[in-house]
Chains A and B, each alone.
Chain A
């Protein structure tokens, strides 16, 4: 019997697991192409600065969703990575005079380092305790940003130069800037898709499905959680660092816990655990903040009502609801 186990079956006896879902793959590629097309077409219809804000937050939400949807970890402190990277990249561009791409890389790397520390401390606990530890550590980062010299306290870092991308392309031109942001967003999206569809992603899915069983198969679960935490932190940092260059500003808002809350909302509204949901969620949330601004102080109430309605009507988020419909 044991030699049966050792010898692989002949290829002809294999059911083609890849041929099983050509429809799903086509849909997948279709959505990706649709996103790429939208990235090209949208700036002609929508105010590019608004779009860039959406893209930065969409990448942030995608990074958060990687951790929540595929790592099963609800972080309530992701603003620390987003905002922390924003400060570092703003500082690098303004004080060190680095090119924007180098400044953004500095921000992302700083987030990665912060992710190692916060992740290492937080992944020992699960559920609400994990969320609380991440929140507490993010609040520490907030106060560090408030007190530190280079962050400019209440003022933040203002007047960050956009500079020249690779020393060649002048980012003062909004169209060039938009192209850079769109490229970063797309690269981030593709990176996340690759992570999900990698051997590492497969192990993550197994851990998400049944952690005790994954452990009993010999997976050192904590290390996988830490790895996905660091990846998520790095991508969230990339988003924050890009935002600092686009808006020429890094401020306390970026590291505030409300930003951690906002990214959770984006993910839930769009559809937790769906691949593209967070993008939709970012559009909705950022769009509401921008276009409902005339409501003034009432904005929070209007937003709140819309969220309650969303959650009641689409408990799986917009994309979750859509996926269910197409699956039928």
Chain B
């Protein structure tokens, strides 16, 4: 496990200019949840969660299986409607906002099972996101798709950034798991979001892919806020500025990794399932 000081230096080395938060401490809250609860037919999956994600930080949401992480995540991304509580993004109440509109505000989520458009090419995958950002809605069914070729250059630049330029013409479903993740990240970056919500970015990955994805996340976190749900505790320790531990739908503890890992309640919650 990487020590706290080593972690800070490694992040500073990766992000020499972008992360002012490293110098000034964490920024003001950009995403805030107050009293967030979700009930499924009598089962309280999430109850009274208060969460505050600071601008420019990498914030992790962890917890043992069934702790309500994914439900919490889906509430924040608006893919589920909360039973009660409110969600504020950049000072704006988004509790009743639809998921597509949340994405347009610059709050973009990823999916646990890597979400690519399988039968579109790798280039088209990224281009569809550029198309949304640059053209807004595309209801122009009378125009040739050749107009989209204007976006090819930028899409390719994004693919180059994640090391996929060589595969631009291949259908996305032919990529390996790790490359699909990279494609997903490039697609998300095409939206130039202010904040990313990552749903278990390392799920189902081998060691090498984990390292690559971790460095990708560190890379894209420059100038952005990230909230992620993750099982892999060493990744969480390495990447995050702040960690919130959920258990049985409630917040158990919050703080940086050093604080969290010493908290006896957290140790107890993880007992038997404790990573590494």
**Which positions in A face B, CB cutoff 8 Å?**
1-2, 4-11, 13-15, 17-18, 20, 194-195, 197-203, 205-206, 209-210, 212-221, 223-224, 227, 231
Contacts and interface: CB of A to CB of B under 8 A. Distances in A.
Contacts of B265: none
A165 B123 CA distance: 47
A9 B117 contact: no
B214 interface: no
8 contacts: A2-B18, A4-B157, A5-B158, A14-B156, A197-B144, A203-B128, A213-B116, A216-B108
A212 B127 CA distance: 17
Contact of A1 (B123, B141, B219): B219
Contacts of B100: 215-216, 218-221
Query: Chain B interface: which size bin?
Result: 35 or more
A130 to B, nearest CB: 19
Given A17-B169, A217-B187, A201 B153 contact: no
Nearest to B130: A217
A216 B153 contact: no
A20 B168 CA distance: 11
Contact of A199 (B79, B119, B131, B169): B131
A75 B142 CA distance: 24
Contact of A201 (B117, B127, B145, B219): B145
Contact of B223 (A2, A4, A214): A2
A198 B145 contact: yes
Contacts of A11: 153
B115 A199 contact: no
Contacts of B148: 199, 202
B109 interface: yes
B168 A15 contact: yes
A81 to B, nearest CB: 18
Given A5-B161, A217-B128, A217-B132, A212 B115 contact: yes
